[in-house]
Structures are given as structure tokens and as C-alpha cells.
Amino acid sequence: MSVELKIPVIGESVTEVTLSSWLKKDGDYVAEGEAVCEIESDKASMELPAPSAGVLKIMAEAGSELKIGAKIGELDTSAAKPAAGAAKAEAPKAEAAPAPAQAAVSSGKEVNVPSPAARKILDEKGVNSTDVKGSGKDGRITKEDAMNAQASAPKAEAKPAAAAAPRAAAAPGSRGVRPEKMTRLRKTIAAKLVEAKNTTAMLTTFNEVDMSALMELRKKYKEQFTKKHGVGLGFMSLFTKAVTVALKDWPAVNAQINGDEIIFHDYADVGIAVSTPKGLVVPVVRNAESLSLAEIEKEILALATKARDGKITIEEMQGGTFSITNGGVFGSMLSTPILNIPQSAILGMHNIIERPVAVNGQVVIRPMMYLALSYDHRIIDGRESVSFLKQVKELLEDPSRLLLDV
């Protein structure tokens, strides 16, 4: 008896996916629930589990563009699970004709076996797994190891060039090119950004915030906060809380255009931009206005972890009313963030730099951050945008107001 392996329904708007890679080989025996392949939709990637135990028959190639419901393989459920004795019986064959990795081990060279996700990343970068030191159990190469191996990739590519050309040709100024197919997620991000630029009257207003009080508050209570709540106190929860307070007073910033109507929201579902190996995703913290700082921190941590591991669902990224992006973690001093449509506004955070500022007639050094609010001028006027950003600034410079709701 065989069980069909099909592309499942992922979300309401998803009609096509990419079969990124097979995690099992044709003829492999897989257990029920074991991941057999990885598929990528417009917004996220996910592993497809085996619906039953059996021997896998692959019927679609990795890299294929497939419709929802497309058949990609079969599982022969009548096939018996290989016995432990059979595996032992095959061991001498493996020793007689060792695989490249085994041969390298026997010759004394350290070889690490990558996880399926790590292997995919290494293949995309053109990095040999033998050049990567694994930090996982028994030296296994983890996904993080593969991501950090990027710096060594050019060395692996430089060897053939050096061997094929005279030494003089290896001078600085190499003109090599490396075409790489855009992932489905990257193509979707590109299309959304262009749509936002072409369909909205986007404008950006700026302000700066003195982070002294916020940094002092965090420094004073960081250890107690972590001990009590089991999660660190970061700036993102404080910014999120300040935003939700200001959105109540300036509801247009939390609104959206739907045809010839403006939809106002009496809640704040705040999207938090997260950078992942495959691109930028924006998971949503639901009803952030009613959550405590600790609850916001826990939700952000959980969503960010799922996003970076490729486990985020489409539902967790839909329906936001406002977004926050933090380019400061990468060293950005100032930027104009692009709207996450259909939302009408997005707040950009930047890095904290000590600068001389005038305070009460005196020049003092303070940790300062530039804030940028991009907004759709079709429904948000200058009064609303500037006043909203000014209120966020004032709440952050006097964080006690967040607790007193004044």
C-alpha cells in the first residue's frame, strides 16, 4: 500500500510553492512525522512531515515550482523497517568503499557532518563542509555554523582560479560573477516594496530621542526583570509600548485604506521586522497595547526565534496595523523605512551614538538615537505624523509616563 505525498494547503493566499530541497533520499525509509523535504512559500519556509511510515519514492525535483495539492512523492507503507542486523551487515561494504567524508576521517582530517538545513546553506554558498568546524553534538555542523561560514566561502572559490592562472593574474580586482536564483521569499519582498513605493504617498518625518533615562532604567532593573520574568529587558518592548500609547491618541497612524474607506483599529497589532538568512519577515505581536513589557519581550523572542529557524507561519505575519524596524542593530545611523502595506506607518529605530547636545543652556554628551516615521500621506497629515513621533520621543525620554499612562 502506498500513501501519496502532496503539497499541503499553507495559507489562504498561497497557490504555489517551491520545493527547496529533499531532506531524505529516494528509497530511504522514513518514520511517521519525520521531515522529508523543505518547501518555501511567498512568506516563509517549512518542513513537510511524512504522513505515514514507509519507503520514500521521490516524484518531483528539488527547485520545482509546484501548485498546492501537487503530488511530489509516495510512501510505500507495506515496506518493512530495516532491521538493526541488516544495517550491521552493510557496514563492511561501507568500510570497503568509504564515502568521501569517511575517507577523510580515516586519513586523520577532521570532517563534520552538516544537518540538512546546514547542508543547504553550505551548498548555496559553495562552501565545502570539510572546511567548517561544527559546534553541534559529536562535531555536527549546525545551521548557525553554516551561516557563519560565509567569510570562508571566497577562499574556497579562490583556489581554482589560482591554480588555473599565473600568479600575476590573481592580483586585486577580480571580475568573477556568480548568478544566484532569487528565492520565492526574496521575490515576494521585492514585489511588496515596489508596490509600497508605487501605490502610496509615502513621506518620512524624523526626530531624535535622548536615551539616557531609558538606558538607566534598563541598567537598574535588568537583572531583577530577567530573574522574575525569565526574559531579558530590551529596548524593543519599551519602544513597542510607547508606540501603542501614542497610537491611541493618533488613531490615523494606526489606520489603513480599504478602497474608498479608512479602517480605524481600536487595537494595536505591532509587526516587528526580523532579519533572517532568507530575507526580512515581519511577525506580528497581537494586542500589544494590552500586554506588559515582559509579555511583549516573550512574544518578540518567540516569534523572532521561529522566523530565524524558518518555522514562522503565514498567520503569524498577517494582519498587523503598525510596524517597527530596527536598523540600529546593524549600525544604521538614519534611514527612511518603507511601508509594510496595507499598513499606513512604520517606525524606524537606529543606532545609539553619544553626541553633544544642548541641555538647559549647557552642552553635554548624551546617548542619542534618530527616529524615522514613514507614513502614507493620503490618510496621515503632517500634524498627526509629527505629533505621534514627538509623543513617542517624550514617552521614551521619560519612561515613567509609560507606567503612569500620562
Q: In this structure, is the dihedral angle defined by the CA atoms of residues 21, 27, 28 and 31, taken in order, positive or negative?
A: positive
73 near 60, Cβ under 8 Å? yes
Please say if 381 is a catalytic residue: yes
Q: Which of 26, 249, 309, 377 is catalytic?
A: 377
Nearest to 337 by CA among 329, 328, 347, 352: 347
Q: How far apart are CA 114 and CA 117, in angstroms?
A: 8
Q: Which of 350, 381, 398, 405 is catalytic?
A: 381
Q: How far apart are CA 37 and CA 107, in angstroms?
A: 33
Please say if 377 is a catalytic residue: yes
- Look up residue 34 and give its amino acid: E
Instruction: Output phi, psi for 343, to 5 deg.
Output: -65, 160
Give the CA dihedral 318, 319, 322, 325, nearest 10 degrees: -10
Q: Which residues are catalytic, by number?
A: 377, 381
